[in-house]
Amino acid sequence: MVKPGDIISYNEMCMEEGYSLQRGMNYQVNGGVSVILMSLRKNAPYADRIEDDGKILIYEGHDVPRNLAWNPKFVDQRRTTPAGKLTQNGKFEAAAIKFKNGIQSAELIKVYEKIKDGIWAYNGVFELQDA
């Protein structure tokens, strides 16, 4: 079992979660915990950040797919797919809204940070409180 601060390989991270993590946002993987993959590296594609001495995580979420916008950074990913199912952004947002409205406790999210290709740091568990 990994502990906050552990440095692990991509394969070890996937084994830990019992799931092949292929995207940045993974809502309730295998019906259980939610997982976010982030990068704070220079030239990272998203403006993720950690504030308040590691107590607050700001995560940008998924962009709209590249084939749907000339510049995905200027278009927010929709909450739902054309078929009406929630996107990953939509699932996390719905959980945050339920928490803010007192309907459910905060979603617990395991966070891994990309250090370099194939190498990750486990940053621990955060509570999803807003979106």
* 52 against 4, higher pLDDT: 4
Return the pLDDT at 11: 95
The band of 72, judged by pLDDT with boundaries at 50, 70 and 90, is low
Asked if the model's pLDDT at residue 75 lies above 80, the reply is: no
Return the pLDDT at 57: 77
pLDDT above 90 covers a percentage of the chain that reads 49
- In eight-state DSSP terms, residue 74 is G
Of residues 71, 128, 79, the one with CA closest to residue 105: 128
CA 121 to CA 100: how far, in whole Å? 29
Asked if the model's pLDDT at residue 40 lies above 80, the reply is: no
- In eight-state DSSP terms, residue 11 is H
DSSP 41-110: STT-SS--EEETTTTEEE---PBPPGGG-SSGGGSBPPSB-TTS-B-HHHHHHHHHHHHHTTSSPPEEEE
* 92 against 73, higher pLDDT: 92
Mean pLDDT of 29-36: 87
pTM: predicted TM-score of the whole model, two decimal places = 0.84
CA 111 to CA 123: how far, in whole Å? 5
Under 8 Å between Cβ of 90 and 78: yes
Interacting residues of 55 by C-beta distance below 8 A, sequence separation 6+: none
Question: Is the dihedral angle over the CA atoms 90, 32, 16, 52 positive or is it negative?
Answer: positive
